[in-house]
């Protein structure tokens, strides 16, 4: 993106939108209110512990095993955006109400640049929203921090609920993600809430996609396997599959992790 007047490279538009003063001020207000409320009910310590954890949260993109195979083959293989896939004729729209909702929401939230946005979710344990794919790609912070923003929840549903006008203070830059997490989640944290519950507070997979609870990550621009530091998968059927993935990922300085 370049300035139409001077031609100088511009910032990433999603980051610029999150950095807008009204957004920052609204987020700060929500954050302070959440902390104050937590203090009143004696949960300030637990909320601060949650905030510290959220500061180390990762952006995790869930993809299928087939995508993992493709992406781990070469660093010339790209993570496509949803619209890139449609445009490149490598996938069809879902053919349901989500197409319409998503299209309107993305146009409103990412005006003129929705094709550039890749979606992920914040996670504390490296596991993403597995309904979108059994492989969780933990994105490398150094590769995305400057171009990633976070949004309160599933943006498609949120934008519909808010008549397609993003409410101020519901998005944040990458470095302010912990503030947004606190503003959103502090109300659910009690004094006795332990750290072991934090991952589920941040990302909770519901029975349906509407019931998923998570903080959405928007990354502007291309990514490859080099943008990934870790891939978390379920138990693989064959030992050779595990070893082959481990070998391939090691070539890009990424590690494979299996969950039970």
Partner 1 sequence: MNAVISGQAGVAVLVDGMKLASIHAGSHGEVIDRRPQEVRFLLNDALDLEFLENIGPDEASRRLETATAKYDALHLALILLDEELSSDTRQTAAQELEELLGEGQEVADFPARVLFSRPFPRGADPAGARACCTVQTPRVRGLIENLVELQPVISEVFQAWQQIQVDVFGSKEDRIQVLATAVKEGIFRDFVLLRAADSTAEAFRALALLKPSFVAIKKHRLIIRKWLSALQVRNRDRGLVRPPTYASRMSVPVKDDNSVLRILCLADQHEANLASDLERAIRLFDLRTEVEVFASRDATLKSLRQAILETNFDVLHFSGHGAFDVSADKPVLFIDSDDGAILPLRSADLVRALDVSSAPRLIVLQACASVGKSSFEPFSQMARALAQQGIPAVLAVQSFVASGVTRIAFAHFYRLLAAGYSIVDSMTPAVETIKRMELTSHANLDWVTPVLFMRTARGELKKERWDGPDRSGRPRRSIRWLGFRRKR
37-to-2, 26, 185, 210, 254 alpha-carbon distances in Å: 43, 16, 12, 28, 41
> H helices of the chain, where?
13-19, 21-40, 44-55, 65-73, 82-87, 97-109, 141-144, 155-161, 177-185, 198-202, 239-250
Is there binding between residue 248 and partner 1 (CB under 8 A)?
A: yes
Cβ at position 110, least distance to partner 1 in Å: 24
Is there binding between residue 244 and partner 1 (CB under 8 A)?
A: yes
Span near partner 1 by CB under 8 A; candidates 26-34, 39-47, 174-182, 244-252: 244-252
Cβ at position 254, least distance to partner 1 in Å: 15
Is there binding between residue 133 and partner 1 (CB under 8 A)?
A: yes
Is there binding between residue 208 and partner 1 (CB under 8 A)?
A: yes
* Encoded tokens for 81: 């955006």
Residue 151, C-beta contacts closer than 8 angstroms, at least 6 positions apart: 109, 158, 166, 170, 171, 215, 216, 217, 218
Is there binding between residue 66 and partner 1 (CB under 8 A)?
A: yes
DSSP 124: S
Q: Which residue from 87, 94, 200, 226 is in contact with partner 1, where contact means CB under 8 A?
A: 94
Q: Which residue from 247, 253, 258, 259 is in contact with partner 1, where contact means CB under 8 A?
A: 247
Is there binding between residue 2 and partner 1 (CB under 8 A)?
A: no
Is there binding between residue 118 and partner 1 (CB under 8 A)?
A: no
Given the rule CB under 8 A, which residues bind partner 1? 64-67, 91, 94, 131-134, 207-209, 237-241, 243-244, 246-248, 251
């Amino acid at each position: 993106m370049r300035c139409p007047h001077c031609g100088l490279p511009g910032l990433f538009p999603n980051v610029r939108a999150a950095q807008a003063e009204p957004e920052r001020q609204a987020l700060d207000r929500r954050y302070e209110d959440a902390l104050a409320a937590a203090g009143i009910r004696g949960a300030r310590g637990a909320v601060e512990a949650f905030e510290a954890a959220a500061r180390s949260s990762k952006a995790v993109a869930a993809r299928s095993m087939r995508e993992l195979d493709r992406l781990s083959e070469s660093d010339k293989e790209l993570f496509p955006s949803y619209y890139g896939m449609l445009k490149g004729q490598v996938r069809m729209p879902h053919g349901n109400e989500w197409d319409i909702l998503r299209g309107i929401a993305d146009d409103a939230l990412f005006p003129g640049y929705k094709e550039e946005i890749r979606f992920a979710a914040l996670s504390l344990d490296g596991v993403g929203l597995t309904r979108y794919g059994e492989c969780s790609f933990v994105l490398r912070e150094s590769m995305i921090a400057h171009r990633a923003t976070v949004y309160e929840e599933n943006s498609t549903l949120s934008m519909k609920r808010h008549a397609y006008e993003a409410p101020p203070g519901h998005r944040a830059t990458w470095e302010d993600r912990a503030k947004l997490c606190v503003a959103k989640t502090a109300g659910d944290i009690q004094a006795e809430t332990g750290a072991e519950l934090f991952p589920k507070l941040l990302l909770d997979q519901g029975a349906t996609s509407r019931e998923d609870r998570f903080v959405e990550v928007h990354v502007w621009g291309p990514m490859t396997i080099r943008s990934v530091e870790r891939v978390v998968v379920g138990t693989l059927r064959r030992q050779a599959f595990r070893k082959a993935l481990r070998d391939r990922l090691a070539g890009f300085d990424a590690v494979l992790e299996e969950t039970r």
